[in-house]
Amino acid sequence: MKNLYNTKKTKKLDDLELRVYTSRLLGSDDSLVLHGGGNTSVKIGGTLYVKGSGWDLATIEKEGFSPTKTIDLIMLLEHERLSDSDMVKYQKEALIDKSAPNPSVEAILHALIPYKFVDHTHADAMVTISNTNRGEELIEEIYEGYLIIPYVMPGFLLAKIVYNMTDGIEWENIKGIILHNHGIFTFANDAKESYDNMIDAVNLAERYIRKAKKQKTHDLNKIQELISEAKGYEVTLKVNQSKIAKQFATKEDMTLSQQGVLTPEHIIRTKRVPIIFEDDYEKELNNYIKAYHDYFERHYIDSEIMLNPAPNWAVLRDFGTISFGKDEKEASIIEDINNHTMKAMINAKKLGGYKSINEEQSFYMEYWELEQMKLK
């Protein structure tokens, strides 16, 4: 999303004119607000000029901002509850100019935020991510340093929850407020900065979506089918798309996975190495199984019986990792081990390179009688 702020156009503007200018910038982009959605405000002295209902940010004028007594709105937060009609009534009472339009339903929240300029949009990109099955997790990941609010009805309830959640916190440590399934608030004492903060916040989400679109897709059903067939029983998949798993699945770091276990006992759970799935799963699985046979042949001594040669976990190129278990519990154990191993491998790379025990040592561990007994 492009930042449209033009400093040449704003040189001579006063605070309320600046408020009109950046409100229109926000309103002009329908991926930020649609048809009268969103609202903005500016505090001048003890007065909050907040978007009046019936006005559209795209075309708003100075008269579109309702002047209200900031303190009167903040005082409303003393109420435990407030019906919509009471809120509207009290907000009207807080109006300095009684002929001005009714203040926005978010006026109390605007009053509460201790900055001169406050901007609020319903940015498509951010709500798209919030409205997904993994919304909570993704928003946490994308919006580090922001205050993240679970969904509540806009209006008094929303203002109240923000009021409670910000009790005793340092506002300067908050980059903005993310409202799940709803939108974004940004703020600053400078009109441009508040607008810039909004564009930056939206860009975090837009960038994330662009990256996800480019992300490779994998056929997990096909993988489950192939591994189950190779194992001789129906496997449970545990998909890991954490930051570290995704990093591990990049072309750059993928081969790290082929360098052996973090500590010997892991080998009975994870095998020495995972399979890497890129495109041709069948061929990749055949190669893995063949390589496992070769490994067994190379180190076999006499009485060992070959374990099932199918992999216990997989790195899926540009996607993440998957652990295979006979049930949920086993898959989770394998995933836990992988999480630690991946982190260690990535850190070890920075320390000069990862180096595990060698293949022969791995084999002795994997086929050590005592370890084989554990499995039984």
Shortest separation between residue 120's beta carbon and Zn ion, angstroms? 6
Please, which residue, 107 or 235, has the CB nearer to Zn ion? 107
Query: What is the 3-state composition of the chain as percent helix, strand, coil, each rounded to the nearest 5?
Result: 50, 15, 35
Smaller CB distance to Zn ion: residue 183 or 274? 183
In the complex, what is the shortest distance from the CB of residue 110 to Zn ion, in angstroms, rounded to a whole number? 11
**Least CB distance from residue 264 to Zn ion, whole Å?**
56
Residues across the chain: 376
The answer to whether residues 4 and 28 touch, using CB atoms and an 8 Å cutoff, is yes
Residue 114 buriedness (CB in 10 A; 0-12 / 13-18 / 19+): middle
Binding site for Zn ion (CB under 5 A): 183
Q: What's the Rg (C-alpha) of the chain? A: 29
**Least CB distance to Zn ion at residue 117 (A):** 17
CB of 106 to Zn ion, least distance (A): 6
Instruction: Give the integer Cα–Cα distance in Å for 145 and 137.
Output: 14
Whole-Å CA distances, 317 to 196, 218, 243, 253, 257: 36, 9, 14, 10, 12
Longest dimension (CA), the chain: 96
Q: Which is nearer to Zn ion, 183 or 311 (CB)?
A: 183
Q: Which is nearer to Zn ion, 202 or 273 (CB)?
A: 202
Instruction: Give dist(CA 121, CA 104) in Å, integer.
Output: 13
Q: Taking CB positions, which residue lies at the least distance from Zn ion?
A: 183
**In the complex with Zn ion, which residue's Cβ is closer, 177 or 331?**
177
